[in-house]
Amino acid sequence: MPRPILATIHTDSLIHNLGVARRAAPESRVWAVVKANAYGHGIERVFEGLRGADGFALLDLSEAQRVRDLGWRGPVLLLEGVFEPRDLELCSRLDLWHTVHCDAQIDMLAAHKTHAPHRVFLKMNSGMNRLGFAPDEYRSAWTRLNALPQVDEISLMTHFSDADGAKGIAQQMATFHAVTSDLPGERTLSNSAATLRHLDAVQASDWVRAGIALYGSAPDFPEHSIAQWGLQPTMTLAAKIIATQAVSTGASVGYSSSFVAERPMRIGVVACGYADGYPRICPTGTPVLVDGVRCQTVGRVSMDMLAVDLEPVPQAGFGSVVTLWGRAANGAVLPIDEVAIQAKTVGYELMCALAARVPVEVSL
Ligand SMILES: *Cc1c(COP(=O)(O)O)cnc(C)c1O
């Protein structure tokens, strides 16, 4: 028998969450962002759930190849564009659309021999200072691209730094509009947070780029939960209890004796640890579901195991199923965001960090 731990990818929830993104941007087309191996879910595993999208956006060329290998003939966008000249050959061969965010990429295009000109997305750095042309360089980049025989349609793109928070997007929107208002071409501005929170950006987006929302994590947690956005978990991580311990008052649990019982306790030892991708930093009190009932971890997370307080579930014991995040058999949901916040991070990081040793199943 393998260790009793399993991740499950929920196709029905991917379909549902894509519907949420569509309803938030009814006039736009939707990129399903599947970078980082579909946020740790596996591109092949999410494909059935996300094939209703209008295109797939990602950044690794080998991932673009995998999307084509799945039989996807629609749009595929490279969010960071090409990294070296021969990447353009793959763009030609696989018909990939690609972002152009710097002069080096325009130089590569100008030297590229292709029969079919490429569709490109010209990216503006409207304030995030990561990728893109500065506002005062943007139009000359556009003009230069537009003159290239290698280039077909030019779309306009920017990315928000604060769509999830208090600062918002007003400044970046104003910068983008000031520079691009009279340029032709389709626009793509909104990520998940902007799609859910900022109608003005959605209305200015011919394409929205939905990532995290598709995977059942709220981009602005804890201001909003997935329940408030109507999203469902798409990844469940579950493991079984492989031992129980009766712990008396004053006894400790786990490494460094960091947890000391203040009363007699029944502890369940769960076959999931940091080597499975469960964050070691999660403190005592991090929520889990045991047989679908909310319980809490106690003590340090170790490599292969963690401990939970079984007080709320007297019937639970050896073999009981513990949901670390996602949904339990009784329908109870533990959003990945609630675990992420205990780990001082975001749902993105937890789902991306699911370890290779965890077996994964797709539920259709
Ligand atoms: C990752 C990414 C997205 C998706 O972001 P989410 O917050 O996951 O919705 C959109 N656009 C670009 C350029 C990205 O890199």
Looking at the predicted structure, is the pLDDT value of residue 1 above 70? no
Atom of ligand 1 nearest to the CA of 59: 15
Angle at which helix 43-50 crosses helix 61-69, to 10 degrees, equals 50
Return the pLDDT at 2: 83
Cα 19–Cα 289–Cα 224 angle in degrees, nearest 5? 40
Domain 235-363 maps to which CATH number in 3.40.50.20, 3.40.50.300, 2.40.37.10, 1.10.1060.10?
A: 2.40.37.10
Atom of ligand 1 nearest to the CA of 33: 4
Count of CA atoms in the C-beta half-sphere (13 A) of 102? 10
pLDDT digits (tens, 9 = 90+) for 282-295: 999 999 999 999 99
Cβ 298 vs Cβ 307: under 8 Å? yes
Residues of CATH 2.40.37.10 domain(s) within the chain?
Answer: 235-363
CA of 332 to the centre of ligand 1 (A): 29
| Residue (of 67, 41, 66) closest to 56 by Cα position | 67
CA of 100 to the centre of ligand 1 (A): 16
Cα separation, 231 vs 108, in Å, equals: 41
Q: Which of 33, 78, 123, 195 to mutate to test the pocket of ligand 1 (most atoms within 8 A of CB)?
A: 33
Q: Is 151 helix (H, G, I), strand (E, B) or coil?
A: strand
Looking at the predicted structure, is the pLDDT value of residue 329 above 90? yes
pLDDT digits (tens, 9 = 90+) for 4-41: 999 999 999 999 999 999 999 999 999 999 999 999 99
| Residue (of 204, 212, 253) closest to 235 by Cα position | 212
Burial class (CB in 10 A: 0-12, 13-18, 19+), 149: exposed
Looking at the predicted structure, is the pLDDT value of residue 114 above 90? no
Return the pLDDT at 148: 98
Is 211 close to ligand 1, i.e. is its CB under 6 Å away? yes
User: Tokens 């793109």 label which residue?
Assistant: 157
Return the pLDDT at 115: 84
Terminal C-alpha separation, the chain: 24
CA torsion angle for 296, 298, 302, 305 (degrees, to 10)? -60
The alpha carbon dihedral of 184, 189, 195, 197 has a sign of negative
pLDDT digits (tens, 9 = 90+) for 33-65: 999 999 999 999 999 999 999 999 999 999 999
Cα separation, 79 vs 90, in Å, equals: 15
Is 127 close to ligand 1, i.e. is its CB under 6 Å away? no
Is 159 close to ligand 1, i.e. is its CB under 6 Å away? yes
Residues of CATH 3.20.20.10 domain(s) within the chain?
Answer: 11-217
Atom of ligand 1 nearest to the CA of 163: 7
- Kind of pairing between the strands at 76-78 and 287-290: unpaired
Is 210 close to ligand 1, i.e. is its CB under 6 Å away? yes
pLDDT bin (cut points 50, 70, 90) of residue 360 is very high
Return the pLDDT at 144: 98
How large a percentage of the chain has pLDDT more than 90? 99
CA of 210 to the centre of ligand 1 (A): 7
Q: How far is CA 75 from CA 57, 96, 189, 194, in A?
A: 8, 7, 17, 22
Is 209 close to ligand 1, i.e. is its CB under 6 Å away? yes
DSSP secondary structure letter of residue 137: H
Backbone angles phi, psi at 269, to 5 degrees: -100, 120
Q: Taking residues 200-220, report their average pLDDT.
A: 98
Cβ 67 vs Cβ 56: under 8 Å? yes
Cβ 255 vs Cβ 274: under 8 Å? no
CATH of domain 11-217: 3.20.20.10
Atom of ligand 1 nearest to the CA of 213: 9
Cα separation, 305 vs 313, in Å, equals: 19
Cβ 310 vs Cβ 319: under 8 Å? no
Q: Is 35 a catalytic residue?
A: yes
What pTM did the predictor assign?
Answer: 0.97
* Residue-wise DSSP of 230-281: T---SEEEEEEEEEEEEE-TT-EESGGG-EE-SS-EEEEEES--GGGT--TT
Q: 134-143 burial, b for 16+ CB within 10 Å, e for fewer?
A: ebeebbebbe
